[in-house]
Amino acid sequence: MRLLAVSLKVLCCPLLLACASPSLGEGEEAAAASSDWNREIVYFVIPDRFADGNPNTHEVDRTKPGYFHGGDWQGLTDQLPYLDDLGVTALWITPIVDNIDGFVDGAGFPDWAYHGYWADDFNALDERLGTEADLKALVEAAHARDMKVIVDVVFNHVGYGSEFLDRHPDWVRQGAQCGQDDQTSCLFGLPDLRTEQAEVTEHILAAHADWVARIGFDGYRIDTAKHVAPAVLAQNQQLVTQRFGSDFLTLGEVWGANAATLSDDYFAPKLMNGGIDFSFRGATRDWLLGRGRTIAYAKGFLPKRHTHTQGAVLGHYLSSHDEPGLLHELQGDRDLFKLAVGLQMTSVGMPIIFYGEEVARDIGEWPDNRSDMPWGSAAILPGGGIAQDTDMLAFYRKLIDIRRATPALSMGTYQPVSYDGDLLVFARRWQGATILIAINRGSTEQSVAVTHASLHEQEKWTDRLSDRAMSVSNGQLLLEVPPRTIWILSPNSE
């Protein structure tokens, strides 16, 4: 056991409960007014792999990783109570538009457009997932539970061999026509939309906005935003703001981006009002695996996430449909994964849960990262009978409940407190309320004495995950953190 004495007077201003972050300072309350999305808990679903609510609407074969498995919008609607109980406040679904009928075999197996990213007609729905009435019913049912719905949109390309190419041959580039830069290259060989032509951009943006108007979506997740020209993103931002208001989310996928690049290249020039932070997952994984020093994570990485443009939204995730799951990369170590979830839920921004993470779905290498949602003993296809980790589910529920009840965790300022060895302690503060987060990544107990003359003998602190209480003694709050443990501590003077 290692014992450290940490003086808060050295780390911040004279009293922890009055400290302000050097990054946000007095602007913390003002920033929140336009950042309500940072308080959402997003659940990302590939509907085909989640729940089948209307069987026999189209052919399925669940033995094939690249074929349709039968999940649909009705099934997702049926499972909204499950998501509500989990604490989800926003649902992100993959693209809804009509996709190509055929398959691609370059993956080593036949691969169909069950995921929605290979558009054929932007003005029609993919009826393999249900009718327009089914989709509208999903959104209305979500809204009835105060749950927002984000729809994935693609401005960059259409599907392989799409009939769109026959209808609009001059609107796409293929093969030798493909360029070498981000905007004109043909990503993975997909036919690239010539959005430098005004009529192409107007068609794509109007088609998606019309779906919002008809169905009632609350935001976009913009696929491959890195490969969309800035002028197109700016035009889309202006369009959706005019039609749906400034609260409409435009969450861009800028591959590899972090808070700084999103702020400089996308938020400041008003190309979109949200972006996915690709840096959180890797930095958190590396720290948990001991590949980086705690001081670098605490004083280098985490504070930088608080310097993004005020009012913009950072979405941070642990697993996705394009990468192996974090639990997989942690070699199945569920204790370490819980620490990662704890960091996700106590960090600034908008947490994104990839479906099934909360029950320890085996999110392996592609295509296993797109496997069926495990439903345990419930008779829900396609994943009925696949085991769930109910302990992990309970952990997620409690963490989400704590985050939703604690604005400091989503929007508060950040202050590193202790960062020696395997133990990380930091503070989050919002409107006078301070929360201490202590995380021990190591295999042995780690201790630190948080000291300050202003701490009172009677002051009590409680870990909101375990309900463990501890007291200030002789001006010190002694934290003895067990191995592979996270504490979320709040003061409660008695």
Q: For the segment 64-79, what is each residue's pLDDT rounded down to a tens digit?
A: 999 999 999 999 999 9
Q: Is pLDDT at 29 greater than 70 in this prediction?
A: no
Report how far residue 350's alpha carbon sits from residue 201's, in angstroms, rounded to the nearest whole number.
29
- Residue 283: both structure tokens together: 């930095």
**Locate tokens 């609510």: which residue?**
53
From residue 281, alpha-carbon distances to 70, 327, 390, 425, 437 in Å are 30, 11, 24, 19, 18
Helix ranges (DSSP H) in 145-193: 164-167
Helix, strand, or coil here: 98? strand
**Neighbouring residues of 226: CB distance < 8 A, sequence distance ≥ 6:** 182, 253, 254, 255, 256, 257
Cβ neighbours, 10 Å, residue 105: 10
pLDDT at 107: 84
- Scored b (16 or more CB within 10 A) or e, 23-35 reads bbeeebeebbeeb
Q: What is the pLDDT of residue 23?
A: 28
Q: How far is CA 249 from CA 240, 313, 316, in A?
A: 9, 9, 15
pLDDT at 473: 86
**DSSP count for the chain of H helices, then E strands:** 16, 21
| pLDDT per position as a tens digit, 336-392 | 999 999 999 999 999 999 999 999 999 999 999 999 999 999 999 999 999 999 999
